[in-house]
Amino acid sequence: MVDTLTELCSKLAGLMFILGTIQQLVPRSFYKRIKALWHRIENYFYPYVQITIDEYSNNKRNEVYSLIKVYLGTKSTNDAKYLKAEMFKKSKSLAVSLDEGEEVIDEFHGVKLKWNSYKETFPDNSPGGRSQLPIEKKCYTLTFDKKNQDMVTGQYLRHVMEEGKAIEFKNKKQKIYSNEEGEWHWYGKGMWRHINFEHPATFDTLAMDPTKKEEIINDLVAFSKGKDYYSKVGKAWKRGYLLYGPPGTGKSTMIAAIANFLNYDIYDLELTTVKDNLELKKLLMETTSKSIIVIEDVDCSIDLTGKRKKKKKKETTNEEEEEDSDSTTEKKSDKNESGKLTLSGLLNFIDGIWSACGQERIIIFTTNHVDKLDPALIRRGRMDMHIEMSYCKYEAFKVLAKNYLGIETHPLFQEIQRLLQEVDVSPCDVAENLMPKNASGKPEICLENLIKVLKKAKRKASLNSQKNKKSSTKLVKTYGRFKKLFE
Ligand SMILES: Nc1ncnc2c1ncn2[C@@H]1O[C@H](COP(=O)(O)OP(=O)(O)OP(=O)(O)O)[C@@H](O)[C@H]1O
Ligand SMILES: [Mg+2]
């Protein structure tokens, strides 16, 4: 029906030419009336509007075309007979799109909209052109009833763009960036180098207290959906997490799980290679939205604690003044240190005015020694959530047993539960012992190995505590003797 009308309309277009000629022959007022009448006839026979979206616009690839392509890929499977599957460089999976000449009918708020895909080829006659290869011009056309024009150009096309972006984001390959000196197999031009991020950790495989895990997941979901909330309360859309705990308790693994959960890229910031505050700011400017900026082992990266400054102050001021010095004075004195990376520079990086450029960003610090960090660096608001990654408890062990041995219960679990209450062992050590050491590795053998290790750790711990007890008794006795001498 639409095609017949298109034909009819093209014939009527011929009539337009005649109208143009009439314009020159008849008086202006009369011509206006003929034109109005003509529009009514045209609308009666062909009440449609067509929008064309070209693949290239001003010699650049048209982003709108790409997003429509992605969007129609999800709609086309019901209507179109011919689809194309392509492997895009940046996509995780095959991208399906509409083949040329195909048609898809979409529906939005009860309104039907027709999409067509076209391709035209021309010989390349340009002077420097590659004469053997024809030029291809691709486009999509969107046809709809004129009465819905406002809704389509407003709401519908916005909906197509947003959906397209969301699908593209879901399918994109994650990347991990580093500011360390680039190696030949890393990509990127600016201050960051990147490779594809393919870490398999997820929240399912992360061994930790299930309540704490759920709390973190809920927090991440609220953050990722919080665009309107953050703008309502006037806060930059970012969130800080401090992960602390002994080595091997899963801090880095948690970062990978968060990145996979949100599908964000990771910027692994190595502070020791950052020259000064200006460079830090530039690095921040080059990060993108929907990303995680990570500073691992923040206590070791650089001397950012207030203590260093306090030591310096000690030489010049009396102790009382020193006691009073809080993080605010640290910040002030830091600012004077031009050409250096300072605590104040890092604080500004996290939540200064510049930190608001680029949205939906998470900043994560990890440390083994939370007590070594300046309180200003980790106060709530900068590091919104403090997450302790602790030694392996029974709940965490069960996750590891499921991951590594594929079992959810076993008679030996009871003994392991009891031992885990008595000894501190990291999930990393438990995981290592659960890993089958040969192809036929039976779960019992791995569990028995783990029990042996836990018992050994228990013996060592009790020996150490006995030693400590002895030395403290010795100390008390020596003190007693000295006391008597001076009495
Ligand atoms: N909570 C955990 N859940 C699952 N696997 C874990 C966990 N903790 C540790 N592991 C395992 O142990 C290995 C080391 O863990 P990870 O690097 O995450 O520890 P970390 O806390 O970052 O240690 P460090 O403080 O030394 O950087 C990981 O490869 C992982 O396989
Ligand atoms: Mg780590």
Residue nearest (by alpha carbon) to ligand 1 atom 7: 250
Dump pLDDT digits (tens) for 15-70: 656 666 666 677 777 777 777 777 677 667 778 889 999 988 877 888 899 899 88
Contacts of 74 (CB under 8 A, 6+ apart): 96, 163, 167
What is the rounded average pLDDT of the residues 83-101? Answer: 67
pLDDT for 98 beyond 50: yes
Where in the sequence of the chain do the CATH 3.40.50.300 domains occur? 176-388
Token readout for 400 is 């590891």
Report how far ligand 2's centroid is from the alpha carbon of 251 (Å). 5
pLDDT digits (tens, 9 = 90+) for 174-193: 999 999 875 545 565 678 88
Tell me: pLDDT of 485 over 70: no
Joined together, the tokens standing for residue 248 give 């091997």
State in Å: Cα 295 to ligand 2 middle: 10
Q: Return the sign of the alpha-carbon dihedral for residues 386, 389, 393, 398.
A: positive
Ligand 1 in contact with 427 (CB < 6 A)? Answer: yes
CA distance 20 to 239: 63
Residue nearest to atom 6 of ligand 1 (CA): 250
Distance 75 CA to ligand 1 centre (A): 42
pLDDT for 187 equals 61
Ligand nearest to the backbone CA of 199: 1
- Whether 53 and 74 have beta carbons less than 8 Å apart is answered as no
CB 347 within 8 A of CB 331: yes
* Confidence class for position 307, pLDDT limits 50, 70, 90: very low
Other Cβ atoms less than 10 A from the Cβ of 369: the count is: 12
Q: What is the pLDDT of residue 316?
A: 41
Tell me the mean pLDDT in the region 186-202. Answer: 83
Residue nearest to atom 24 of ligand 1 (CA): 247
Does the beta carbon of 249 sit less than 6 angstroms from any atom of ligand 1? yes
Rounded to the nearest angstrom, the distance between the alpha carbon of 101 and the centre of ligand 2 is: 53
173-182, 185-194, 241-250, 444-453: least confidently modelled range? 185-194
Closest CA to 223 of 193, 261, 252, 253: 261
Quote the ligand 1 centre to 405 CA distance (angstroms).
Answer: 18
Q: Please give the pLDDT value at position 327.
A: 47
pLDDT for residue 385: 95
pLDDT at position 450: 94
Quote the tokens at residue 75: 């709609």
The DSSP secondary-structure symbol of 401 reads H
Determine phi and psi for 175, rounding to 5 degrees.
-125, 155
Ligand 1 pocket mutation, candidates 249, 258, 403, 424, criterion most atoms within 8 A of CB: 249
> 389 CB contacts (<8 Å, ≥6 apart)?
208, 243, 244, 245, 246, 249, 250, 251, 254
Task: Return the higher-pLDDT residue of 479 and 325.
Answer: 479
Q: What spatial distance separates the first Cα and last Cα of the chain, rounded to whole Å?
A: 115
User: What integer pLDDT is reported at residue 3 of this predicted model?
Assistant: 55
Closest CA to 114 of 5, 258, 249: 5
What are the beta bridge partners of residue 266? 176, 292
- Report the atom number in ligand 1 closest to the C-alpha of 205: 4
Measured CA to CA, the distance from residue 273 to residue 189 in angstroms comes to 17
Position in ligand 1 atom list of the atom nearest CA 255: 18
Among 199, 242, 252, the mutation site with the greatest number of ligand 1 atoms within 8 A of its Cβ is 252
Following CA atoms 398, 222, 390, 383 in sequence, which dihedral angle do they give, to the nearest 10 degrees? 170
Per-residue model confidence as pLDDT tens digits over 310-345: 434 444 444 444 434 444 444 444 444 556 888 888
Report how far residue 106's alpha carbon sits from residue 104's, in angstroms, rounded to the nearest whole number: 6
In one-letter notation, the amino acid at residue 397 is F
Q: Give the number of the ligand closest to the Cα of residue 251.
A: 1
Of ligand 1's listed atoms, the one at least distance from the Cα of 431 is 11
Q: How far apart are CA 304 and CA 374, in angstroms?
A: 7
CATH number of 176-388: 3.40.50.300
ipTM of predicted complex: 0.99
pLDDT attached to residue 23:
65
Query: With bands split at pLDDT 50, 70 and 90, how would you rate the model's confidence at 250?
Result: very high
Q: Which ligand is nearest to the CA of 389?
A: 1
| Mean pLDDT value of segment 295-318 | 57
In which band, very low, low, confident or very high, does the pLDDT at 171 lie, cut at 50, 70 and 90? confident
CA-based radius of gyration for the chain: 34
Burial 329-339 (b: 16+ CB within 10 A, else e): ebbebbeeeee
Of 107, 102, 106, 96, the closest CA to residue 117 belongs to 102
Whether the predicted pLDDT of 5 surpasses 60:
no
